[in-house]
A and B are shown apart, each in its own frame.
Chain A
Amino acid sequence: EVKLLESGGGLVQPGGSMRLSCAASGFTFTDFYMYWIRQPAGKAPEWLGFIRNKANGYTTEYNPSVKGRFTISRDNTQNMLYLQMNTLRAEDTATYYCARSGIDYWGQGVMVTVSS
């Protein structure tokens, strides 16, 4: 069974940093691109970016809205996906989801609140 479990959310001050994690299981992790998507309360989701699979060199693509502030990485030995978020702003407040390529499986999401 495919499972994705995010962790690491919480309250952070504007200008601060936070790293989210996503533990993957139930599939061959290195075969898949992995995505980060966020959703502010009551709004549509926003695609943040992805990291490609082994066959495509684990390269990354980002939404310009977060490029330069957010970094996606993966630890293929631990089946872990990460989202490093820097210089956080109030508008980054949202539920953050990891998803498998094709967005066929999503995690349950983790809330990030940026506020002083």
Chain B
Amino acid sequence: DVVMTQTPVSLSVAIGQPASISCKSSQSLVGTSGKTYLNWLLQRPGQSPKRLIYLVSKLDSGIPDRFSGSGSETDFTLKISRVEADDLGVYYCLQGTHFPYTFGAGTKLELK
């Protein structure tokens, strides 16, 4: 299975400050189509996970452009330019290139 290693495990950020989460995969996530199926999700307390970003850098509808995704092959990053209170929760990366699809262990974003 592809191992998705997320760092840090937790992140304490003040409102208005930037945040960055890393996700590294144990093998390249470039698929046979040439696309890279790397997603970022946010799970707020008590809620289902919600997709924020797909195909490394494409924002889902309604997701503010404070969020951005980047990376390639095995190294990916989620950045929040200015953290807001609504951004708190656990962030997961998910690869959808290789079976079985696998999630990172999560990064908990808390308020400082």
Contact = CB atoms under 8 A, between A and B. Distances in A.
Interface of A: 44-47, 49, 61-65, 97, 102-104, 106-109
B100 A45 contact: no
B56 to A, nearest CB: 14
Interface of B: 39, 41, 48-51, 54, 60, 92, 94, 96, 99-106
B103 A44 contact: yes
A61 B92 CA distance: 22
A103 B103 contact: no
A47 B48 contact: no
Contacts of B106: 44
A58 B107 CA distance: 35
Contacts of A64: 100
Given A44-B103, A65-B100, 7 more contacts: A45-B49, A46-B103, A97-B49, A102-B51, A103-B41, A103-B94, A104-B54
B41 A63 contact: no
A45 B92 contact: yes
A104 B103 CA distance: 15
